[in-house]
Amino acid sequence: MNARARGNNFILVVFDSCRYDSFVAARPRAMRKLGRVERRWSYASWTSPSHYNLLIGLMPHTNPKHVFASEYYKREFVKYNQRLDIDTFEFKSLVPQLYLPAFLRHHLGYRTHAMVSLPALNPQTVLNHGFDTFELMPQHNDMRAMVAKMTFSPDQPSFYVLNVGETHYPYALPHESREEWPRISGVHGVFKHLDEEIVGGRLVRRKRQFFDHTKLEELRQRQIAAVRHLDRVVEELFDLVPPNTWITITADHGELFGEDGFFGHGPVQHEKVYEVPFVEGKLR
Ligand SMILES: [Zn+2]
């Protein structure tokens, strides 16, 4: 046993692109067992900067008023004592690297693992620092395949970050064939770069070609259905984890479904691209 190893297992689940109101509309039952579902705000509008921020250790923020940012960060970092079940954690614990996986691995003796769905986060990126393993999953939308790979040791706590892709465009469940994926006539080109994660932007309204609100509503409903599906997968995760496990579930950013002429995320300045769900806790 590693003499320094101590603390809760810590699992950070990031539903890619999952809007707060999609999460709530899905009425998840399993995930609510962790605690109250909060509306929070992402620090960034797309995957890479948002995950970097999460891995610094900063969860989506509560948009607090009348407080200096430095004070807010200090308060936020103290919460790691509860998450990890330790009592010595503070902001300066992370200095100078400011990177949670490296800190957990080198200072607390954690095994650290990332399983990601979106190629923008692949193992060759700078995000892969302080991890024992870092894997881009073969399928972009299969959280169940991640859960199947997770193991826990009684001698050494584990940190897992799971970037989950079912909630990302095209909001497809793993059993669905590509032929069933949605297509929007006239605007499909905006969506074609799934691999590069460039799916955001303002849709151009041409003469006689309007935004298809019915289709966009269909997409929003697909994201809600994806959350419902993930609630069942999370329940399987709950059955798997040892008692001393803290789980945080959130999103890296939101998504636009036609509001004010926007679709997706990334180069979008809109409230809904920052609004994300946040729920965390320990099961027992
Ligand atoms: Zn993302």
Average per-residue pLDDT for the chain: 90
Contacts of 232 (CB under 8 A, 6+ apart): 30
CA of 117 to the centre of ligand 1 (A): 10
* 160's tokens: 């897992």
What's the whole-number mean pLDDT along residues 278-284? 92
CA of 68 to the centre of ligand 1 (A): 28
CA of 261 to the centre of ligand 1 (A): 20
CA of 51 to the centre of ligand 1 (A): 8
CA of 144 to the centre of ligand 1 (A): 19
Cα distance between residue 180 and residue 91, in whole Å = 47
Residue 36 confidence (pLDDT) above 90: yes
Residue located via tokens 């101590």: 6
Q: Is 188 exposed, middle or buried (0-12, 13-18, 19+ CB in 10 A)?
A: exposed
CA of 120 to the centre of ligand 1 (A): 9
Residue 203 confidence (pLDDT) above 70: no
Which helix H or strand E contains 251, and what residues bound it? strand 245-251
pLDDT top residue among 203 and 186: 203
CA of 277 to the centre of ligand 1 (A): 14
CA of 229 to the centre of ligand 1 (A): 18
Residue 197 confidence (pLDDT) above 80: no
What's the whole-number mean pLDDT along residues 93-99? 91
Cα distance between residue 172 and residue 39, in whole Å = 24
What's the whole-number mean pLDDT along residues 46-50? 97
Residue 1 confidence (pLDDT) above 90: no
CA of 284 to the centre of ligand 1 (A): 30
Residue 229 confidence (pLDDT) above 70: yes
Cβ atoms of 145 and 137 within 8 Å: the answer is: yes
CA of 199 to the centre of ligand 1 (A): 10
Residue 156 confidence (pLDDT) above 80: yes
CA of 98 to the centre of ligand 1 (A): 21
**What is the pairing mode between strands 158-164 and 245-251?**
unpaired
Residue 177 confidence (pLDDT) above 80: yes
CA of 21 to the centre of ligand 1 (A): 16
Tell me what percent of the residues of the chain surpass a pLDDT of 70: 88
CA of 105 to the centre of ligand 1 (A): 25
Residue 207 confidence (pLDDT) above 50: no
Count CB-CB contacts under 10 A for residue 260.
11
